Structure 1
Amino acid sequence: MIRLFKHYVPHAVLLLGLVDAVLLMAAAELGWVIRARQIGMLVEPTVTRLPQLIAFAAALQIALVAVGAYGVASFLSLRFAAARLAVAILLGVSCLSILFFLVPPLALWRSNLAYATLIAAALLVVVRALLGRALGGDTFKRRIIVLGAGRRAARIGALASQPGANVIVAGYVAMGEPNPVVRGAVPRDAIPNLAAHVVDHNAGEVVLALEERRNALPLKDLLRVRTTGVSVSEISSFLERETGRIDLHSVNPSWLIFSDGFASGRMLSSVFKRGFDVTVSLLLLIVTLPVILVTAVAIKLESRGPAFYRQRRVGLYNQGFDIVKLRSMRQDAEVAGQAVWAERDDPRITRIGRFIRKVRIDELPQTWSVLKGEMSFVGPRPERPQFVEQLEQQLPYYAERHMVKPGITGWAQINYPYGASIEDARHKLEYDLYYAKNYSPFLDLLILLQTLRVVLFPSGAR
C-alpha cells in the first residue's frame, strides 16, 4: 500500500485510478474529435480544450469513487464493476450538466458529451475485463513473513486468505510459543539466518505477531532483517494499514502514544473543516427545507406525536448537546426515556421511518447542529450518554473517540453496517480511532464521497 495524506491506498487501486484518469481524458478528446470531423470542423490542438477535458474526467472519476467502483468487489466481479460503472456514469453526467450550466466555459457540446460518455463507458468496462483479475490477483500483493505461530499470527493468516487481501503470507516462524496454533510454522531454532530466510522467500516485510513481547523481542534478528532493506512491522501497525481500523485486540497504550498520528498541528485543517461545515450546512438547510417539511407532514399523518424530536448526545470532550432528528419511531418507542438499542427490523420503526432511515433523510435536521458547531459533517457518530457510560466501562479507549468532534457521517458509518450490540460498538470504535488518528481533509473528502455509496446502496440502515 501507499500512504496518501495519512491514509493507506492499495497499489492496485491507485494504478486503476490512474489508468481510469487517462482513459477518461482520452474519451473526452475522442468524443470531441469525432464530432468535429463529422461536421467538418477544424480540430485544434488538444491544449485549447484542456479545461473541458479535465472537467469531464474529474467529474466521472469523482463519481467512480463515490459509488465504490474501486472497492474489492470491483476487482473480483466484472458484473459488479459494470453495475457500479453504470451508476457512476449516470451520476457523473448529471453533475456535469449542472457544472456546465453554472460554468459555461467548461461545457462540452451535448453531442461531444454523448460520444465521450459512450467511449468512456466502453473503455472502463474493457479495462476492468482485461486488468480486473490481474489487479485483484497476486501480482500487486506484498509477500510477508510472520514471526509468531499463536493466535495473533493466525489472525494475519485469516486476513491474508480473504478475497481482495493485499498480502500473501510467505511463511510463519514459530518463536517458541508454548501453544502454537499455526500449522507448518518453522521453528526459529531451525533457521540459521533469519535475514537470509526472509530474502529466500522473496518477502518484502516481516510482521511481528508475538503473543508475549516482554523479554521475547528478537532484536538482533529484526535489526539484520531491517538492514537487508526489508521493512519490519508490529502487528497493530500492520492491521491498521491493511484493515483501515485500530485493532483493539492487539493494540496497547504505548503503541497509541508513540505511533504516528493524533497530530496537534491541525490549525489550517480545522479552519478549513469549520469553513466547509458552515458553508455547506447553510446551503443544505436551504435546499433540503422542502424535503424536511414534506417528510414532517408525512410523519404526522402516519402516527401520533411530534414530527421532530430532540435527543441528548455526547460530543467533543464529553460535552453533552441536543440533536434534532425527524422521528422515525413510534412516540412510545422508549418507555420513561430509557435508552434502547435499535434492532434489525425493529417493530418500533414506522413505515415512513423505515424509508427515511434508509435514505438518511431523518439525519437532515442535524445540519443545524453542524451550523452551531456542536457537530461536523464528518466524525464519529455521537452516542447517547447512557450508552457512552456503558461502553466506556466495557471497551478500552472508548473515551478517546470524543477527542474529535462528532459527525453526521464518518469512517465507521461507511465501513461497518449499523450495529446494535457491544460487539458492533467495538468494531465501530476501531474505525473511529483510525479516523481520529489519521484525520486529514483528504480522508474527510473520501468519507463524504463514499457516503453517497451508502445512500445509493443501503446496507444495515436501521
Structure 2
Amino acid sequence: MSLPSIRSRRLPILLLLGLDTLVFVAVFNLSGWLRGIVGPERWIIEPLLVPLLFTITTLYLIDGYRTRTEMMSADYTSQHCLACLMAMLATLLVTFVAFPANYPLQGSRSVIAITFLVISGLTLTYRRSLHRWLHLDRGDRSVLFIGNSAACKEFREVCASNGMAEKIVCAVMEEQAPTKPIEHSDSLMRDYASVLTDIRSGKLRTEAIVLKESAFHMPLDLANQLTELYFRGVPTYTLELFYESYWRKIPLYRINHIWLFQEGFEMARSPIFGRMKRLFDVIAATTGLIIASPVLLAAALAIKLQDGSAVLFRQSRVGLHRQSFKIIKLRSMTDKPVLSGDNRYTQNDDPRITRIGGFLRKTRLDEVPQLWNVLKGDMSLIGPRAEWDELVKDYDETIPCYHFRHLVKPGITGWAQINYPYGANIDDTLRKLEYDLYYIRHFSFVMDAAIVLRTIHIMLFGKGK
C-alpha cells in the first residue's frame, strides 16, 4: 500500500529549519571573513541567535515553513524578501539599542546587511526546490472524500475554486442503501468499496481522506478500514477540519447557534487576551498616528486641491456586540455617492472613485485615519472588517449566524482582508465570513503578527482594494 511518507509532513519543516540555521551561520561568517571582521580560526555563533530567531520568526509568519504554501509565486517571493528585510531591521534595532556597546555584532553592520541580502535569495531558492520535489511526490496523490453524492459534488466544486479539482476522488456512500448500482459518468466519483480496494492494492495514492459529517450510519467495516489507514499514516479529516487545515477558513455549512461552544475563541472568552490586545492597539495606534501624520497631511492637501470637497469620510459602522460607531477614513470617492441597490458596493472600476482616491485605496492609505477609531476603542488594529450598518441589516436577515463576527472588535486589517479581495456582492460577503470566523476561533498574537506583516506587504506592492 502506498501511503504518505514522513517527508510530506514534518521532515520538510525540520529540513528547512536546519538549512536556515546552517546557511545563516555560514553566510555571516564568510561575509565577516571577507570583510576582515571574523577570523577563519574562530566563527561567531552564539551572537547570531538573535538575528537567526528574527529570521525564523518572520519566515514562519509568512508560512515559509508550511509545505502547502505556493512558494513558486511572485506573491510569495515578495513576501519572502520583505520578511528578510524586517528581520534585518529588527536585528539592527535590537543590536544597537538594546545590547551593550561591546556586543560582538555592533561592529558588523555591513556584514549583517550583506548576510540578509544573500540569505533572502538562498533561502528562497532551496524552498522552491523543496516545493518542486514535494509536488512531484504529491502530484499523483489524491484527496479522497467520503460522503453522499450531493456532498461529493459540492466538495468537488469548492475544491475547483481552490485549484484542487484534479486531485479529488469521491467515494459515494448514500445515507440509505441504494436500490440499484450507482451510475457515474465521472470516473472520479465512485462507490467507497472500490476506492478502498484500490488504496489497499496501491493503485490509488492518497494524500488525505476527508469525511463528510452527516446523519448516516457508517458501516463497521468502513470505520475499521479508515482507522487502519489513519494509524498507518494517512491524514484523515472531518470536512470542517480539512477546510481549516488546507484553506484556513470555516465552512459555513457547519455554523449553528451552538458552534461557539467548541474549543477556541480565546479572544472572546478570556479577558486577559482582550486587555493585552487593547494595550497593543493603543501603543500601535499612537505610534502610527505620529509616524503617519506627514503622509496624512499630504494626502489631505491632495484631496482638497482635487475638488475642494471634504477630506474625511465618516460613516456609521457596526462594531463589538453590534454597537454602532462613526468610522473615519480619507475620502477616496466623490462627495455624494449613490447609496442604493448595487451601488452600495464599491466595484474595482467604480466611477465614483477619484484619481487621488484610487491611489489611496490601492495603498490602503485611506484606512490610516481609522487609527483614531482604534485609539478611541471603537476598533482594534486587527479584526473583521467594520461593515456599514445598512448592509449589516441585510446580512443579518439573509446570512445565518452573521452576527458571530461581532463577538470581537472590527479591525483596520484582518484575516479576511488579506486572504480575499474586496467584497462586491453577497457571495463575496459569505466567502469573507468564512475567514472572519476562522480568525475569531483561532485568534493568537502570532496570527496577528502574521496579518500585520502581510498587510505591510499589500501596502508596499499595491494589492489592496
Specify if TM > 0.5: yes
CA deviation digits over 1:371-406, x for unaligned, max 9? Answer: 122111111001011000011112222111111111
User: What secondary structure does 1:331 align onto?
Assistant: coil
CA contact (8 A) 1:339 1:386 kept: no
CA deviation digits over 1:262-286, x for unaligned, max 9? Answer: 3465233222211111111111111
- Structure 1 138/405 Cα, relative in aligned 2: closer, same or farther at 3 Å? farther
- Residue 29 of structure 2 corresponds to which residue in structure 1? 30
Deviation at 1:427, TM superposition (A): 0.8
- Residue 273 of structure 1 corresponds to which residue in structure 2? 277
- Residue 3 of structure 1 corresponds to which residue in structure 2? none
Question: What amino acid sits opposite 2:295 in the alignment?
Answer: V
Q: Structure 1 length normalisation: TM-score?
A: 0.81
- Structure 1 136/26 Cα, relative in aligned 2: closer, same or farther at 3 Å? farther
1:383 and 1:439 mapped to 2: Cα distance?
Answer: 20
CA contact (8 A) 2:146 2:210 kept: yes
2:399 and 2:430 mapped to 1: Cα distance?
Answer: 7
Which residues of structure 1 form unaligned runs of 5+? 1-8
Whether 2:443 is the aligned partner of 1:433: answer no
CA deviation digits over 1:431-459, x for unaligned, max 9? Answer: 11111111122211211111122212333
Deviation at 1:56, TM superposition (A): 2.8
Whether 2:242 is the aligned partner of 1:238: answer yes
Question: What amino acid sits opposite 1:433 in the alignment?
Answer: L
CA contact (8 A) 2:303 2:356 kept: yes
Which residue of 207, 212, 215 maps to 1:209? Answer: 212
- Residue 220 of structure 2 corresponds to which residue in structure 1? 220
2:164 and 2:136 mapped to 1: Cα distance?
Answer: 9
- Residue 71 of structure 2 corresponds to which residue in structure 1? 75
Question: What amino acid sits opposite 1:455 in the alignment?
Answer: M
2:326 and 2:58 mapped to 1: Cα distance?
Answer: 34
User: RMSD value over aligned CA atoms?
Assistant: 3.8
- Structure 1 154/412 Cα, relative in aligned 2: closer, same or farther at 3 Å? same
1:80 and 1:327 mapped to 2: Cα distance?
Answer: 29
Q: Name the % identity.
A: 32
1:110 and 1:293 mapped to 2: Cα distance?
Answer: 34
- Residue 265 of structure 2 corresponds to which residue in structure 1? 262
Whether 2:130 is the aligned partner of 1:131: answer yes
Which residue of 35, 49, 58 maps to 1:54? Answer: 49
- Residue 152 of structure 2 corresponds to which residue in structure 1? 153
- Structure 1 204/197 Cα, relative in aligned 2: closer, same or farther at 3 Å? same
CA deviation digits over 1:169-218, x for unaligned, max 9? Answer: 56624435788685344435668xx6x776555657532237xx33x221
CA contact (8 A) 2:20 2:123 kept: no
- Structure 1 368/416 Cα, relative in aligned 2: closer, same or farther at 3 Å? same
Which residue of 382, 387, 390 maps to 1:378? Answer: 382
1:80 and 1:252 mapped to 2: Cα distance?
Answer: 32
Equivalences, count: 441
- Structure 1 441/84 Cα, relative in aligned 2: closer, same or farther at 3 Å? closer
- Structure 1 124/329 Cα, relative in aligned 2: closer, same or farther at 3 Å? same
Deviation at 1:244, TM superposition (A): 1.0
CA contact (8 A) 1:149 1:182 kept: no
2:259 and 2:348 mapped to 1: Cα distance?
Answer: 34
- Structure 1 438/140 Cα, relative in aligned 2: closer, same or farther at 3 Å? farther
Deviation at 1:414, TM superposition (A): 0.4
What does residue range 89-168 of structure 1 map to in structure 2 within 5 Å? 89-103=84-98, 105=103, 107=106, 109-139=108-138, 144-148=143-147, 150-157=149-156
Question: What amino acid sits opposite 1:25 in the alignment?
Answer: F
CA contact (8 A) 1:24 1:56 kept: no
Question: What amino acid sits opposite 1:54 in the alignment?
Answer: L
Deviation at 1:10, TM superposition (A): 7.7
2:193 and 2:130 mapped to 1: Cα distance?
Answer: 43
Which residue of 170, 183, 186 maps to 2:187? Answer: 183
Which residue of 322, 329, 345 maps to 1:325? Answer: 329
- Residue 403 of structure 2 corresponds to which residue in structure 1? 399
CA contact (8 A) 1:414 1:450 kept: yes
- Residue 456 of structure 1 corresponds to which residue in structure 2? 460
Deviation at 1:410, TM superposition (A): 0.5
The farther-off stretch of 225-234 and 400-409 is: 225-234
